[in-house]
Amino acid sequence: MNDYAVRALQKVYDKHEVTFVTSRPHGARGPTIEWLKKLLWTDYAPQVLVTPKQKEKALVAMQPEVIIEDKVETLESYEISVKELQLPACQLILVDRPYNRHLNPVGVARVRTSEEALRLVADEN
Mean pLDDT for the stretch of residues 81-95: 92
Question: What is the separation of C-alpha 119 from the centre of its chain, rounded to a whole number of angstroms?
Answer: 13
Report angle CA 7, 8, 12 to the nearest 5 degrees: 120
Mean pLDDT for the stretch of residues 51-59: 84
Check which CATH number belongs to the domain holding 65 and give it.
Answer: 3.40.50
**Whole-number pLDDT of residue 36:** 82
CB of 77 closer than 8 Å to CB of 51: no
Indicate the number of domains in the chain: 1
| Predicted confidence band of residue 125 (pLDDT cuts 50, 70, 90) | very low
Residue 92 has pLDDT above 70, yes or no: yes
**pLDDT tens digits, 66-83:** 999 999 999 999 999 999
77 versus 53: the higher-pLDDT residue is 77
CA distances to 53, 67, 75, 105 from 110, rounded to whole Å, are 23, 12, 12, 9
Say what angle helices 29-40 and 3-15 make with each other, to 10 degrees: 100
Say what angle helices 55-62 and 72-85 make with each other, to 10 degrees: 40
Sign of CA dihedral 81, 13, 115, 40: negative
Report angle CA 80, 82, 83 to the nearest 5 degrees: 65
Q: What is the rounded CA–CA span in Å between residue 11 and residue 13?
A: 5
Domain that holds residue 56: 3-121
